[in-house]
Amino acid sequence: MEKVENDIATLILDKAFLIHRELGPGLLESIYERVLFHELKKSGLNVTSQVFIPFKWDDITFENGFRADLIVNEKV
């Protein structure tokens, strides 16, 4: 059964709180991101990191308009 957005978001938050409790504050953002990536993958989710998201304005498309830290199951 495929997870819906609310289920995915709940799992992401649970893992984020776990990481915060275990590691605490003070590390670089990149460390927290990598640990969250690892934990979500361990949970069986499809996770990609540092994904460029195009931005369109009028008839112009900026291929690298935004960069998402993590994309989970192509939904969140």
Q: What is the pLDDT of residues 46-61, one digit of tens each?
A: 999 999 999 999 999 9
Q: What is the pLDDT of residues 4-29, one digit of tens each?
A: 999 999 999 999 999 999 999 999 99
The enclosing H or E element of 75 equals none
DSSP 44: T
Q: What is the pTM of this model?
A: 0.85
Give the integer Cα–Cα distance in Å for 43 and 61. 35
Domain boundaries, the chain: 5-72
What residues contact residue 33 under an 8 Å CB cut-off, 6+ apart? Answer: 49, 69, 70
Give the integer Cα–Cα distance in Å for 70 and 67. 9
Q: Is 64 helix (H, G, I), strand (E, B) or coil?
A: strand
